[in-house]
Amino acid sequence: MSDRLAILTDGLLHDSAAKTGHGVLRYGTREVTCVVDPVHAGRRVVDVKPFCDHDAPVVADVKAARELGADVLLVGVAPMGGRLTPEWRQLLLEAIGLGMHVEAGLHTVLADDPELAAAARSAGVRLRDLRAVPDDLGVPLGPEHPIPARVVHSVGSDCAIGKMTVTLELDRAARERGLSSVFVATGQTGVAIAGWGMAVDHVVSDYVAGAADRLVREGSQRGDLLWLEGQGSLFHQAYSGVTLGLLHGSSADALVLCHQAGATEVGDLARTPLPALPGIVAVYEQAVAWVRSAPVAAIALNTAELGAEAARALCAQVEAETGRVTDDVVRFGPDRVLDAVLSTLG
Amino acid sequence: MSDRLAILTDGLLHDSAAKTGHGVLRYGTREVTCVVDPVHAGRRVVDVKPFCDHDAPVVADVKAARELGADVLLVGVAPMGGRLTPEWRQLLLEAIGLGMHVEAGLHTVLADDPELAAAARSAGVRLRDLRAVPDDLGVPLGPEHPIPARVVHSVGSDCAIGKMTVTLELDRAARERGLSSVFVATGQTGVAIAGWGMAVDHVVSDYVAGAADRLVREGSQRGDLLWLEGQGSLFHQAYSGVTLGLLHGSSADALVLCHQAGATEVGDLARTPLPALPGIVAVYEQAVAWVRSAPVAAIALNTAELGAEAARALCAQVEAETGRVTDDVVRFGPDRVLDAVLSTLG
């Protein structure tokens, strides 16, 4: 897409609820014209969120965004419950009335909403659901159709520990080295950031591996080093099936294991004990090898809860215990992990 | 359901394409009034398929079935491609016009077909899609809500090797011993046989474990020994995610491993080598133990391609190699495997 985005954060630009917006601003390759946020209007993005590399002005309303030339309104906040509130409905209708396309990953499917759908039809704009998946998915094409790219797949010991961030950092670092590198999104925030991809958790279960296969084939049209975002964890009772489907469908050549430093259990309702890191490495390598061999090339620790010295010591300790390069790619930079992956790919 | 079924096999009662019909006739607990099949009309089911325990007359057309008192037409054949042909459309419309409900697991969703839906509305009958899944699924409820039943889950080294049949045989044998035993269907043929259950391969991937959890909770309302049908294989690239989601969502207390005697590889397009049986046992016990411990209590071999003597020798050999009771439950009877499972459950 060559769209010019206005990111709607609606008072929450400073808050972690705006994680979709933050992701697009930090990692996106799409053009961001402005952020729409009445609370922070008049400032610039970096004044509110210094880690966002794509700086942009913050404007008060959709009309101001349109005047700056934005032609897509991207909902950059996950509202409580993910449903469309009456206030947001008005905002989206206003954007549509001004001729803007609308993109969102809400539980409310925009195109299924009669009022929004009618407004979009009459304005000639698109309503794009970031969670929408193709209706012609199937099983993987198989080894007769090899993937013309190298695939690195991030996996994790738990959900929500930074797999997407690690994947994005490694892709960005690879691109900065001049490699033909591509981030392949498998969740709706990743799709918002990349402008393409698929929210595989919305795919019918029979086709998760087929979805991963299609994504890496599409990725291989865009570059020859693919970073496929992982989902869930083999140790998480509720989501392990999605994790294994991605792992087996990915045609991965190497894995990067993401782990929250110090975590010893996993899950929401059912707290399941985790093995120590050498055991987690072994489980992922064994599970992928049921269909295809791929080593854990490196470990990406999330050490946000530790002091810098303790974090460095822990990385060194894990590296000694597992025999894999271990680092916090957000805190200390992605270069060591990237080097280890490239060396594994050979 | 207390329906009286007419099973439509449409010339194929003798053929393996009628596997849904055969399953209902051999294992079902639902009342079967007759089979509709012009080629075999005038005979009885056991004359055509001796292994079908539920004998019933075969009639030539839907009208004759209605006259015998049938009030549900169940499509018992999987047609090529699974789509509704013009001939079948006429048959279904005729049944609807005679006041019969229609059940099918076609790719064509009956209720989404305007002509069939209108006819059913006007006749006041139901169109039941065997693959339909609830729209309010979520994640498993968790250990604060324990399952008030013992759960035995069948798993397999490959697809289409008889997991459903083994599960049905063990449930039937347990009921014949007077146990409060329930077959829990996870595929559309199983749903046709049992009259309830869920085709988990049509569930959105995020909710496979939650679907398994709901199924065993529903099963525990019906009995206290549950036989949860397995799907796919951890070694099958395309379907391993569904397999693991079921395995982790099932709250299984014991596993029965199904295996095609002599098979050394798995899959359709991608032929993946299988480990030897002790290795397959180890993989399933390790994978389930990532969230909950459950032993492989017994091995059910499909020895259909071997002579009887070779089959018995192989069962003995596998039993010695794996330390698990091993038998062909269809060929030699389910008792030894059932005993081993009950002994494991304690």
- The reply to whether A208 touches chain B by the CB within 8 Å rule is yes
Q: Which residue of A has its CA nearest to B240?
A: A245
Alpha-carbon distance of A293 to A282, in angstroms, equals 12
B207 with B265, same domain: the answer is yes
* Final residue of a structural domain among B65, B100, B129: B129
A172 with A271, same domain: the answer is yes
B77 with B160, same domain: the answer is no
* Final residue of a structural domain among B129, B163, B183: B129
B185 with B288, same domain: the answer is yes
The answer for residues whose C-beta is within 8 angstroms of residue B6's C-beta and 6 or more apart is: B32, B33, B34, B35, B36, B59, B62, B65, B66, B68, B70, B72, B73, B74, B95, B100
- Report yes or no: A328 and A302 within 8 Å, Cβ to Cβ: yes
Residue B1 is predicted with a pLDDT of 47
Residue B135 forms part of a structural domain: no
Alpha-carbon distance of B108 to B119, in angstroms, equals 16
B193 with B333, same domain: the answer is yes
Residue A270 is predicted with a pLDDT of 64
Instruction: State how many domains chain B has.
Output: 2
Question: Among candidates B337, B291, B19, B326, which has minimal Cα distance to B152?
Answer: B337
- Report yes or no: A322 and A281 within 8 Å, Cβ to Cβ: yes
Alpha-carbon distance of B237 to A210, in angstroms, equals 9
Residue B136 forms part of a structural domain: no
- The reply to whether A203 touches chain B by the CB within 8 Å rule is yes
Please identify which residue in the block is written with the tokens 């392949």.
Answer: A184
Residue A193 forms part of a structural domain: yes
B166 with B308, same domain: the answer is yes
On chain B, the residues whose CB falls within 8 A of the CB of A136 are: none
A174 with A54, same domain: the answer is no
Residue A109 is predicted with a pLDDT of 84
In this prediction, the residues of chain A whose per-residue pLDDT falls under 50 are 1
- The reply to whether B133 touches chain A by the CB within 8 Å rule is no
Confidence of residue B175 (pLDDT cuts 50, 70, 90): very high
Confidence of residue B79 (pLDDT cuts 50, 70, 90): low
pLDDT in tens, B152-168: 999 999 998 999 999 99
- Report yes or no: B248 and B209 within 8 Å, Cβ to Cβ: yes
B309 with B243, same domain: the answer is yes
* Final residue of a structural domain among A77, A100, A129: A129
Average pLDDT, chain B: 94
**Interior/surface letters A172-208, b for 16+ CB within 10 angstroms, e for the rest:** bbbbeeeeebbbbbbbbbbbbbbbbbbbbbbbbbbbb
A38 with A185, same domain: the answer is no
Q: Is the pLDDT of residue B269 over 80?
A: no
Q: Is the pLDDT of residue B31 over 50?
A: yes
Residue A135 forms part of a structural domain: no
Residue B51 is predicted with a pLDDT of 83
pLDDT in tens, B121-160: 999 999 999 989 998 999 999 888 899 999 999 999 999 8
Q: What CATH code is carried by the domain that includes residue B168?
A: 3.40.50.300
B281 with B205, same domain: the answer is yes
- The reply to whether A282 touches chain B by the CB within 8 Å rule is no
Beta bridge partners, A73, equal A6, A102
Q: Domain limits at A300?
A: 150-345
- The reply to whether B280 touches chain A by the CB within 8 Å rule is no
Phi, psi of B341 (to 5 degrees): -65, -45
Residue B143 forms part of a structural domain: no
- Report yes or no: B57 and B44 within 8 Å, Cβ to Cβ: yes
In this prediction the pTM is: 0.93
Residue B164 is predicted with a pLDDT of 96
Mutate to test the interface with A, among B201, B235, B290 (most CBs of A within 10 A): B290
Q: Which residue of A has its CA nearest to B239?
A: A206
Contact A142 B270 (CB under 8 A): yes
pLDDT in tens, A48-102: 998 887 889 999 999 999 999 999 999 998 765 667 888 889 999 999 999 999 9
Q: What CATH code is carried by the domain that includes residue B88?
A: 3.40.50.720
Mutate to test the interface with B, among A153, A237, A272 (most CBs of B within 10 A): A237
Residue A280 is predicted with a pLDDT of 98
Residue A255 is predicted with a pLDDT of 98
Helix boundaries (H) for chain B? 19-27, 45-48, 62-67, 86-97, 114-123, 163-176, 188-194, 208-220, 240-249, 277-289, 308-322, 335-345
- The reply to whether A267 touches chain B by the CB within 8 Å rule is yes
A64 with A97, same domain: the answer is yes
Residue B80 is predicted with a pLDDT of 60
B326 with B215, same domain: the answer is yes
Region of residue A11 (left: phi > 0; alpha: psi -120 to 50; beta: else): left
DSSP codes, A277-332: HHHHHHHHHHHHHTTS---EEEEEEE-TTS-HHHHHHHHHHHHHHHSSEEE-TTTS
Residue A142 forms part of a structural domain: no
Q: Is the pLDDT of residue B273 over 50?
A: yes
Average pLDDT over residues B89-113: 92
Residue A53 forms part of a structural domain: yes
Contact B290 A239 (CB under 8 A): no
Average pLDDT over residues B64-68: 97
Residue A144 forms part of a structural domain: no
